[in-house]
Every structure is written in C-alpha cells, then in structure tokens.
C-alpha cells in the first residue's frame, strides 16, 4: 500500500508531537509506538526514522520492535477492525468457521483490509471472554456467542450505522 | 584470578569468570557454536543451542557460552546426552538452511561443515523435511550478496555492522519468520550499506558473501 | 519509624472513616449492582445498566445503581445484585433484555423479589438459599475474589471501607525483613505458573546489592483460556496495587510497574484510575500516609506478545526491545530491569499479599495443601455447564472442580479431557480426574498449573486437533531466538497438520515424541521448554486418536475438517423444510427428485450452518468420517 505525500506529512507531524512528551530513554519506545499507532492507526516508515533519531538507536531496531509485536501495523487499517478471538475456548467452539464466514462475507483474508478501507480482519490472542465463546471484537466492542449467520447480522448492523451517520450528516 | 578446570580429562587453566566456551576454545578444545561472541560478556545470546556440555554437579547439559568457569569444574564436551542434544539442534538448523555446498562461497570455510565433521553429523537432515521460506537473494549492494535462506540467525553480521559504525541490518519479526533484514525490508543497496564487507567476514556460513569479481 | 507509623495509622483512620460513611450511605437506598467486567459487557451488561436506569427514571425510584466487576459466575451473565431493605441481598443471573427492568419493577415497587430469576442470596436468610448451599459454594473459598463483583472498582472508598489498605498500614510498621519473613513462612508460591516461592524471590532481591530496585506486577495474562487476572484487575484493582506497594516496601524498591497486556483495554482503564485515586488519597507516591516511605507505580502496556509473560522477555519489552528472553542466571531478582534487582510477581500472587499481611502466615498455611498453601483461582471454560471463575483451596480434585463447582459437562455430552495450564500445560483424561490441584501433582500428571486456565473438552473435541491448536499458538508466539523452539515447534506443527489431514504415518508419532523431548531439553526459556506438553500429554493419554487419524483417515470426534463430510440423512429429511438450503452460504444444498435435500460435496465448505439450521426435531444433518462414507451411503441408496 503506497502512502500519499499528505499521509506522510501528517504522520511526521503527529510523531514529532508525541515525541515531545518523552525523553530519550529507550524504555519509552513502546509507549511512543503505541501512541503513534493510536493516533494514526499504523506506524509508517517516516515515523520510525523520527523515533530512531529521538532515541538514538538504529532505525532497523525500531523496525525490529515494530514487527515483533502483534499490536503494531505498518499499513493503515480499515475503519472498522474486526478481530476474531483465537483463544482455546473460542477455537473449540468453532472460531475457524467464524473466521471463514468473515473472510467469505468481506471477501478478504485475515490480515487484509477491504478495498474501500471499511473493514480489516485480524486474529487476536485470547481476549479473556472465554465464557462467551466464540467471540468477535469489532472496534472495541466484544460480541459473544457468534455464529456464521450472526456474522451477516453484525456486518449488516455496522453497514446500517454507517448509512445512518451518512444520512444524519447530510441533513 | 586463575582457576583450574578439567575438560574431557584435560586440565586447563582459565581466568575466573571466563565463559567455559572461550576457555575451551583457547585451549584447543572445540565445542560447536554459531552465535557466541567474546565481546558479549554480559548477556550472551545463547540462541544457537549447539555448545551444550555436561558439567559434573549439573542435572542436565548446559550451554558453555553462558557458564562462567569455576575452580575444580569437571566438564565433558561429548557425553551421550550432549551428543544427542547437539545432533538434534544441528539437524534442526540444517532443516532450515539451503544446502548447496558445491556452489556456496563459504564451501571449505563453513562453520556448519566444521561442526558436521567434528561431531560426525550429516549435513542433510535425516528425519526432518526441509522447511522452505522462499526468501529472495539480495544482490543489490555494491559488493555483497545476502542469501537469507542460508542464514542461521546467529547475529554475528549485526554485531559486525554495528562495530563498523553502521547499523544497517538487524533482527526483525519473530518465531519462524525471524530474519536478519534492513529497516522496512528495503534491499541492502538502498539501505545505506557501504559494502564494507564486515558482515561477510563475520558470517559463519555463506549467507553474506562478497560478489564474485 | 514508630512516629511515622502512628501518623500513618491516624491518616488511614481518617480515610477509612470517610469511606465507611459513604459506603453505609449507599445502603440507605435500594442498591443495584450490575456486573460489567469484559465478560459481562460481552453479554450485554451495559445495555442492562441503561435499561435499569431508564426504568428507575420512568418509575421515579430513588436508588443507587453501580457498575461493578465480576463475581465469577460468568455462565449466568449478565449478573445483577439488588440490596433492598427487608430482604437479603439477592444475586440474579441470565438477566436478559426486559428481565432487568421487570425485576426492578416487581422488587422495588411491589416487593416481589422475583426469585425465579435469582441465582442465590448473598447472606443467610429464611427465604432463599445462599451460594454456599450449593456444591459450588461448598468448595469455593474466596480470598482474592472475596470482594470482586460486590464493590465498585472505580471507587477507592469501597476498597477502603471493606478493609483495604489496612495491610499497607501494618506493613509500614514492619521492617522489610519482617514482611519477607511473613511471606516466606506463609509458603506462598508464585501463581504465574512455575510456583516459585514468593518470599525467597523477595529475599533475593532484598539482599541484592544496589539502591535502585524495582517491583513489577506481571499482568500479561496471555494463556488462551485464562482470564483470572483480567477479572481481578477489572473488579478489584486496588488489591493488586496494595500488594505491589507492600512488595516494594519489602524489597526496598524505588519504583513499581504494572505490566498489562494490550488486549485488556478495560483492565488498563481500571488500573490507571486506581493508581490515580491511590495517589490522591496519599497511599501512593511521596511520603505515603505521612511516613517517609515513597513509591510510585506506573502502568506499562504490553503490545501483544505471549512470550512477554516470561520475566526476562517482559523486562526486554519494558526496555524498548523485542520481547526476547535471555539466559538465566542472572535472575531478575539480582539483575532485572535496567540490570537492577527486580521482583516480578503475577497479579494473583500480589493479590494474596495484603491478606497474608493482615491475617498472618499461619492462617494462609491452614488453607490448601502442605506444599501448595492457599487457594487456586481457575478460569473454567469450554464444555462445562458453569463457566466462569472459581477460587478453591489447593488440593481440591479436578473431579470436584469440574463436576461440582462447574456442574459437569454441558448438553449431556461425555467428558473427554481437561486442558490445564494453556500452551504450557496438558490434557488430562478421565482417569486423572482424582488428581489434586496443586503445583506438583499437576506437573506429575503431565499438565501444569500454568496461570490457571482450565478448558473442559467433551466427546466432540479432537485431541489431535487441540494439540495442533496449541502448537500453532506457541509456534506463532515463539520469539524465534533459539533453534529448538523456533524450528522444533515448526516441525511439530507441520507433522500435526499432516496428521489432522489424514496424511500422517505411524512413525510420525514417534518423531513427535522425539522432537518434543529434545525441545524440552534444549530450549532457552520456559515457553520452549513447555511448548511440547500439549502434544506429549495427548499422545500419552489419547494415542488411539492419533492412530485413527493415521490408519483410517478418521477423526473420531468428527472435528478435523479434512476428515469429515456433512451428509443429510434421507429418511430423516423433512423434504418440505428448506432451513438448510437457506442457511448454506455457498449454495451447496439442493433438492433431489424426491425433494430430499442433498449436499454437493464439491461445493460444501463445511461451515456447520446447515447442521445448526436443521430443526432439532429432524436432526437430519450429520457428520461422517472418513468422508468417503458419504459416497458409500449414497451408493447404498441407489
């Protein structure tokens, strides 16, 4: 995914703003990465270079940290992030069929974003709601006892929400 | 302060606190190893898991690169347990190393060949299938060719690059995907690499090599 | 110190007095508590809050409505408790849409407590049984979980009013050696998994040279199937904070950290708030309660790496590096964060500390078994009727835990195994059910206490598949540093995948055992050393399932996708019903000339939808293994 010049510029400004709050102690690297990702949704190369300079470490080390942890993304996510819990209880109660249902409905694979950047699909480690298995987290909201048919319903409700905000916006 | 230890029946002297691996190597006793580095005294990587030895008083084999020598230590570098463990570790490494000795620039000067010879091990894994990773060869740098499929992830090139004052390569990703690469996985030729060749000197196998002129 | 301690006592007495007054004021009106930890929220607890709020407003009632954490009865979510004058406090479960408003209306307006929705009363009374009248309650012994779900985790006064921070006051009056001695003689063992004695860890750190020391609470609960730490942090965060402050006092730390995983956003919120409130109350920060003792605690969020539960990896990630473990020794208690002596304790371990300081080592030792004193907190999940959290004395047997606390297997299915300890643990079968739960017995049986996740498996769960699942997990979560874990687990996973596809060879089982033994011996850290356990334990107890996959291409539990096919029994199909046809996402189901539904095996994606859709009175859709049985059946019909 190629980033536009505009996206790069925003990323740079935001990263610099965040870095101002932290001293050069390397222990601050992960909190900074988290804040940049919270703001931008991902961590682009320009941000990595900026952090490397701030903490006085090689850029490849920032890249090493970024690619080590599940949480960080190198490319922009979808507006709605669908996360399928892959905990034991969810797995034994059919998380893989739920995953396949999402993949079928969104026509993307896990780790991908739909072309309109509306949805991205991810697998997450156990979210700790084992008693409600299988679980899907959409944005921050946890949905329990999901079935393949409920996937359609969930998707529909998010699309409906979007339509309503759109209509609300034009009024 | 010097201490006296016994390795394979041979008495040797070493400075107290030296890691056993270096004490052995300095006295002409070979212990297989890939990742160890003398300068990393504080926290050796201990990642290749090939320098196992048996030490009297220890319930299980230990890695020689992490064990400081102490007075009276009695070491066996090739007990049956050690041999089995080293053979298993070596077979695992070889199951993830593109084997092409005939065309490899490191042929004849390869640590893997040396270990195989010293411990009478097969280079080609016997029980395990080869795990392919399909990583392309990077020949974009002026002088250097990097073949990640041959890399054993010892990290020596990363140290060499840093000692040279550059920091082009590093470890990225994790698990089976762990790889030595540049920031953003850009080709070496675009990474600011000045083709000094330190990584080639450091590489114990043929993953980093000089271009044939 | 005595002057400082009297100042502290006075300062605390003032705090407690104010807290108690407000706490008692709460009960002057009817009090409604809604369990809204993450599990409750997933079941609609926030909607329930809203519903009750609206109903109360509509009826013009004057009540106190509070969001609380989780009592552990997750099976019955959403859960709600009502305190109403003249009645015992009653806990309601399965409070679905409309029910909450109805209970509030009936109870608070008409005085009808709606016992048909009640799980139990919280105090002995003439009217309703209490939790302790049920088998579950008879086994449960709540220490850490005592106040979870009954106090507001966002209000420090609730914690203080119920005796919180009194142990800190006591600890401020004790010399560090005294605190360490109490913990040492209590026999408390770390609840993070390995069961290392906490007192010895503290002592090592205390004796380590250096004036800069750290204490860290490890809340990087990553075991899939475990959610005890999340519940404690969401339901009673101050308990953990108090435990950590006492730890800091004991070892002489200058700073504390709580390391929470990123997947627990609500826990992060709750801790951040708790720390802020503790600071404002003078219980944290500079000159705590007016004494000369200072300690501040900072929150550190993990970034999604299971291996960071390993203490040296956790430290690496706090130092801004990838979470890669290093060789031990030196142990963190001697050389940890920034190479300074550091104590790292699990959430549950720290939660026992205030209780032990308060009630003494002998009290703690009187609970549980000799070598594993205290209680164990288990997250019951999977195919058990009553999923949720249970705190029982160590030494309780697995059978008691599953059949009495958990009420047995759901849906009348047959028990097959219980997976304990997550990716480091193992699967224990029926014959191991009488194993007492403690660190040493579980390890001997081939599982591990781990952090306490317990997933119950029934006859529909394939043991090869569960082994594959865990290997897939550890393989993805392996840091990749050392040879045995990085490559060994990958080979094991590949072999397991081949077996679940029905393409394995018998010698693969031996190869798995061989690899597993070597990985255990050769790996650098605890993750690699324990990663083969799920495979070894399933081969040990369920070898015949591996053999069925290999020899017959058959999955006895009808779970492995490549080895099953969906089939509609012609004599059971109702013909005029189209439920399965409509449910199929890929249009694989058609009607034949007799209007009997048939599955096109080429198109079928085995999504299970038709089996769910087929009305229970017909039960016409079945799974067959090996898949060629379908062709045989179809041929037989012709």
State what percent of residues in chain C have pLDDT above 70.
99
Among residues C561, C618, C626, C573, the alpha carbon closest in space to that of C599 is found at C573
Average pLDDT of the segment spanning B132-159 = 94
Chain C residue closest in CA terms to A129: C39
- For residues C345 and C209, membership in a common domain is answered with yes
- Asked which of C292, C319, C352 is the last residue of a domain, the reply is C352
DSSP-derived secondary structure letter, C309? G
Does some domain include residue C341?
A: yes
User: How far is residue C363's CA from residue C296's CA, in Å, rounded to a whole number?
Assistant: 30
User: How far is residue C326's CA from residue B190's CA, in Å, rounded to a whole number?
Assistant: 32
Which residues in chain C are closer than 8 Å to B79, comparing Cβ atoms? none
Q: Do B170 and A64 touch (CB under 8 A)?
A: yes
Number of Cβ pairs < 8 A linking chain A and chain B: 39
Residue C472 has pLDDT above 60, yes or no: yes
What 3-state DSSP class applies to C453? strand
Distances (CA, A) of C127 to C11, C86, C94: 42, 11, 21
Chain C residue closest in CA terms to A30: C320
- Split at pLDDT 50, 70, 90, the class of C626 is very high
User: How far is residue C99's CA from residue C88's CA, in Å, rounded to a whole number?
Assistant: 20
ipTM of the complex as predicted: 0.96
Distances (CA, A) of B114 to A50, B108, B170, C402: 44, 8, 26, 55
Q: Which pLDDT score, from 0 to 100, does residue B41 have?
A: 72
Which tokens belong to C297? 């605690």
- Asked which of C458, C475, C501 is the last residue of a domain, the reply is C458
| CATH value at residue C407 | 3.10.20.600
- For residues C415 and C386, membership in a common domain is answered with yes
Domains (range + CATH), chain B: 1-132 (3.10.20.740), 133-213 (3.30.70.20)
- For residues C60 and C127, membership in a common domain is answered with yes
User: How far is residue C637's CA from residue C401's CA, in Å, rounded to a whole number?
Assistant: 48
| CATH value at residue C225 | 3.40.50.11540
- For residues C408 and C487, membership in a common domain is answered with no
- For residues C292 and C214, membership in a common domain is answered with yes
- For residues C234 and C338, membership in a common domain is answered with yes
> For residue range B156-169, what is the model confidence (pLDDT) as tens digits?
999 999 999 999 99
- For residues C416 and C474, membership in a common domain is answered with no
Which residues in chain C are closer than 8 Å to A94, comparing Cβ atoms? 608
- Split at pLDDT 50, 70, 90, the class of C538 is very high
- For residues C488 and C445, membership in a common domain is answered with no
> For residue range A91-106, what is the model confidence (pLDDT) as tens digits?
888 898 899 889 988 9
> For residue range B78-120, what is the model confidence (pLDDT) as tens digits?
999 999 999 999 999 999 999 999 999 999 999 999 999 999 9
Cβ neighbours of residue B91 closer than 8 Å, sequence gap 6 or more:
B121, B122, B125, B126, B127, B128
Q: Where are the domains of chain A?
A: 5-68, 80-170
Q: Is A144 on the interface with C (CB under 8 A)?
A: yes
Among residues C207, C286, C189, the alpha carbon closest in space to that of C251 is found at C207
Average pLDDT of the segment spanning C599-610 = 91
- For residues C320 and C171, membership in a common domain is answered with yes
- Asked which of C522, C552, C582 is the last residue of a domain, the reply is C552
- Split at pLDDT 50, 70, 90, the class of A163 is confident
Residue A170 has pLDDT above 50, yes or no: no
Q: Is A60 on the interface with B (CB under 8 A)?
A: yes
| CATH value at residue C83 | 3.40.30.10
Cβ neighbours of residue C509 closer than 8 Å, sequence gap 6 or more:
C539, C543, C546, C547, C550
Among residues C228, C244, C245, C220, the alpha carbon closest in space to that of C317 is found at C220
Does some domain include residue C256?
A: yes
Does some domain include residue C57?
A: yes
Q: Which pLDDT score, from 0 to 100, does residue B15 have?
A: 94
> For residue range C242-286, what is the model confidence (pLDDT) as tens digits?
999 999 999 999 999 999 998 899 999 999 999 999 999 999 999
Q: Which pLDDT score, from 0 to 100, does residue A141 have?
A: 86
Q: Which pLDDT score, from 0 to 100, does residue C3 have?
A: 52
Please work out, in degrees rounded to the nearest 5, the angle formed at the alpha carbon of residue C243 by the alpha carbons of C237 and C246: 140
Q: Do A88 and C455 touch (CB under 8 A)?
A: yes
Q: Do A69 and C303 touch (CB under 8 A)?
A: yes
> For residue range C481-535, what is the model confidence (pLDDT) as tens digits?
999 999 999 999 999 999 999 999 999 999 999 999 999 999 999 999 999 999 9
Q: Which pLDDT score, from 0 to 100, does residue C6 have?
A: 87
User: How far is residue C351's CA from residue C164's CA, in Å, rounded to a whole number?
Assistant: 11
- Split at pLDDT 50, 70, 90, the class of C1 is very low
Q: Do B93 and C487 touch (CB under 8 A)?
A: yes
Does some domain include residue C362?
A: no
- Classify residue C47 as exposed, middle or buried by CB count within 10 Å of its CB (0-12, 13-18, 19+): middle
Higher per-residue pLDDT: A159 or C172 = C172
Nearest to C488 among B92, B129, B173 (CB): B92
> For residue range B19-48, what is the model confidence (pLDDT) as tens digits?
999 999 999 999 999 999 888 777 899 999
Chain B residue closest in CA terms to C507: B127
> For residue range B196-210, what is the model confidence (pLDDT) as tens digits?
999 999 999 999 999
Distances (CA, A) of A49 to A13, A61, A64, B179: 13, 10, 13, 20
Average pLDDT of the segment spanning C351-359 = 98
- For residues C394 and C407, membership in a common domain is answered with yes
Chain A residue closest in CA terms to B179: A64
- For residues C303 and C221, membership in a common domain is answered with yes
* Residues facing C384 on adjacent strands: C409
Which tokens belong to B89? 């570790």
Whether the Cβ atoms of residue B169 and residue B154 lie closer than 8 Å to each other? no
- For residues C477 and C586, membership in a common domain is answered with no
Does some domain include residue C512?
A: yes
Does some domain include residue C210?
A: yes
- Scan residues 565-584 of C and list those with Cβ closer than 8 Å to A: 583
Q: Is A63 on the interface with B (CB under 8 A)?
A: yes
Q: Which CATH class is domain A80-170?
A: alpha beta
* Structural domain count, chain C: 5
pTM of the model: 0.94
User: How far is residue B208's CA from residue B199's CA, in Å, rounded to a whole number?
Assistant: 7
Range of the structural domain that residue C630 is part of: 564-637
CATH T-level fold of A5-68 = Arc Repressor Mutant, subunit A (1.10.10)
Does some domain include residue C454?
A: yes
Average pLDDT of the segment spanning B51-70 = 96
Average pLDDT of the segment spanning C556-577 = 94
Whether the Cβ atoms of residue C535 and residue C516 lie closer than 8 Å to each other? yes
Nearest to A68 among B168, B174, B183 (CB): B174
- Split at pLDDT 50, 70, 90, the class of C638 is low
Cβ neighbours of residue C633 closer than 8 Å, sequence gap 6 or more:
C567, C624
Does some domain include residue C5?
A: no
Which residues in chain A are closer than 8 Å to B169, comparing Cβ atoms? 60
Q: Which pLDDT score, from 0 to 100, does residue C637 have?
A: 61
Which of B174, B177, B178 should be substituted to probe chain C, the one whose Cβ sees the most C Cβ atoms within 10 Å? B174
Residue C4 has pLDDT above 70, yes or no: no
Average pLDDT of the segment spanning C52-74 = 95
């Amino acid at each position: 995914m190629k980033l536009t010049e505009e996206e790069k510029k925003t990323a740079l400004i935001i990263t610099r703003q965040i870095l101002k709050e932290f001293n050069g102690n390397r222990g601050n690297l992960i909190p900074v990465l988290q804040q940049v990702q919270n703001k931008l949704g991902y961590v682009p190369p320009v941000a990595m270079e900026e952090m490397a300079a701030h903490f006085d470490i090689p850029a490849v080390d920032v890249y090493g940290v970024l690619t080590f942890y599940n949480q960080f993304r190198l490319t922009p996510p979808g507006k709605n992030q669908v996360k399928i819990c892959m905990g034991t209880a969810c797995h034994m109660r059919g998380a893989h069929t739920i995953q396949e249902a999402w993949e079928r409905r969104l026509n993307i694979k896990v780790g991908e974003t739909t072309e309109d950047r509306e949805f991205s699909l991810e697998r997450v480690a156990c979210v700790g709601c084992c008693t409600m298995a299988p679980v899907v987290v959409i944005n921050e909201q946890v949905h329990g006892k999901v079935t393949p048919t409920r996937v359609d319903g969930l998707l529909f409700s998010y699309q409906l929400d979007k339509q309503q905000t759109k209509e609300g916006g034009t009024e | 302060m010097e201490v006296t230890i016994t390795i394979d029946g041979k008495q040797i002297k070493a400075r107290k606190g030296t890691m056993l691996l270096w004490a052995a190597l300095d006295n002409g006793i070979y212990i297989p190893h890939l990742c160890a580095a003398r300068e990393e005294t504080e926290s050796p990587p201990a990642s290749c898991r090939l320098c196992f030895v048996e030490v009297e008083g220890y319930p299980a084999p230990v890695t020689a690169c992490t064990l400081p020598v102490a007075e009276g230590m009695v070491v066996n570098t090739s007990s049956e347990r050690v041999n089995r463990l080293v053979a298993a570790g070596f077979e695992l490494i070889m199951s993830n190393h593109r084997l092409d000795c005939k065309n490899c620039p490191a042929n004849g000067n390869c640590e893997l060949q040396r270990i195989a010879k010293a411990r009478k091990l097969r280079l080609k894994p016997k029980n395990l299938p080869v795990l392919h990773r399909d990583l392309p060869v990077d020949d974009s740098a002026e002088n250097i060719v990097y073949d990640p499929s041959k890399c054993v992830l010892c990290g020596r090139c990363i140290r060499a690059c840093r000692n040279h004052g550059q920091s082009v390569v590093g470890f990225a990703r994790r698990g089976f995907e762990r790889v030595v690469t540049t920031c953003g996985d850009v080709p070496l030729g675009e990474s600011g690499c000045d083709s000094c060749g330190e990584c080639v000197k450091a590489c114990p196998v043929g993953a980093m090599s000089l271009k044939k002129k | 110190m005595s002057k400082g301690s009297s100042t502290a006592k006075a300062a605390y007495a003032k705090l407690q007095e104010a807290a108690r007054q407000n706490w008692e004021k709460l009960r002057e009106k009817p009090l409604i508590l809604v369990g809204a930890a993450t599990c409750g929220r997933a079941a609609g607890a926030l909607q329930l809050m809203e519903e009750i709020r609206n109903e109360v407003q509509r009826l013009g009632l004057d009540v106190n409505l509070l969001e609380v954490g989780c009592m552990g009865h997750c099976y019955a979510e959403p859960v709600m408790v009502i305190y109403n004058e003249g009645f015992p406090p009653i806990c309601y479960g399965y409070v679905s849409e409309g029910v909450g408003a109805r209970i509030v209306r009936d109870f608070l307006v008409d005085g009808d407590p709606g016992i048909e929705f009640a799980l139990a009363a919280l105090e002995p009374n003439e009217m309703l049984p209490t939790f302790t009248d049920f088998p579950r309650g008879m086994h449960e012994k709540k220490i850490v979980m005592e106040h979870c779900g009954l106090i507001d985790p966002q209000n420090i006064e609730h914690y203080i009013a119920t005796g919180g921070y009194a142990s800190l006051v006591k600890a401020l009056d004790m010399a560090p050696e005294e605190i360490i001695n109490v913990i040492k003689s209590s026999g408390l063992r770390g609840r993070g998994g390995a069961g290392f004695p906490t007192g010895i860890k503290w002592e090592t750190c205390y004796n380590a040279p250096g004036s800069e020391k750290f204490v860290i609470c490890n809340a990087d609960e990553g075991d899939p199937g475990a959610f005890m730490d999340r519940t404690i942090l969401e339901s009673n965060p101050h308990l953990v904070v108090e435990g950590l402050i006492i730890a800091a006092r004991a070892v002489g730390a200058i700073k504390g950290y709580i390391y929470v995983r990123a997947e627990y956003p609500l826990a992060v919120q709750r801790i951040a708030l708790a720390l802020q409130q503790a600071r404002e109350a003078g219980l944290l920060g500079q000159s705590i309660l007016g004494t000369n003792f200072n300690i501040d605690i900072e929150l550190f969020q993990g970034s999604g790496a299971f291996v960071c539960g390993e203490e040296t990896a956790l430290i690496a990630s706090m130092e801004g590096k990838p979470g890669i473990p290093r060789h031990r020794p030196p142990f963190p208690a001697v050389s940890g964060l920034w190479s300074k002596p550091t104590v790292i304790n699990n959430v549950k371990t720290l939660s026992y500390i205030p209780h032990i300081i308060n009630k003494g080592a002998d009290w703690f030792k009187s609970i549980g078994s000799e070598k594993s004193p205290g209680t164990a907190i288990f997250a019951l999940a999977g195919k058990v009727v009553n999923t949720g959290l249970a705190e029982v004395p160590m030494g309780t047997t697995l059978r008691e835990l599953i059949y009495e606390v958990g009420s047995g297997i759901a849906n009348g299915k047959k028990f097959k195994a219980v997976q304990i300890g997550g990716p480091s643990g193992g699967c224990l079968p029926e014959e191991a059910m009488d194993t007492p739960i403690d660190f040493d017995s579980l390890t001997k049986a081939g599982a591990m206490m781990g952090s306490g996740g317990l997933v119950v498996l029934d006859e529909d769960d394939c043991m090869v598949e569960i082994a594959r699942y865990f290997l897939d997990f550890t393989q993805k979560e392996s840091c990749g540093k050392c040879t045995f874990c990085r490559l060994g687990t990958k080979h094991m996973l590949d072999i397991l995948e081949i077996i679940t596809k029905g393409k394995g060879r018998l010698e693969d089982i031996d190869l798995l055992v061989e690899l597993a033994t070597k990985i255990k011996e050769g790996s650098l850290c605890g993750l690699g050393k324990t990663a083969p356990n799920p495979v070894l334990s399933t081969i040990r107890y369920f070898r015949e399932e591996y053999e069925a996959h290999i020899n017959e291409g058959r999955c006895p539990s009808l779970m492995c996708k490549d080895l099953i096919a969906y089939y509609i029994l012609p004599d059971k199909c109702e013909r005029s019903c189209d439920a399965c046809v409509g449910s199929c996402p890929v249009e694989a189901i058609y009607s034949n000339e007799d209007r009997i539904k048939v599955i096109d095996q080429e198109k079928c994606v085995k999504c299970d939808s038709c089996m769910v859709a087929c009305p229970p009175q017909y039960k016409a859709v079945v799974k067959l293994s090996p898949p060629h049985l379908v062709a045989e059946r179809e041929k037989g019909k012709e």
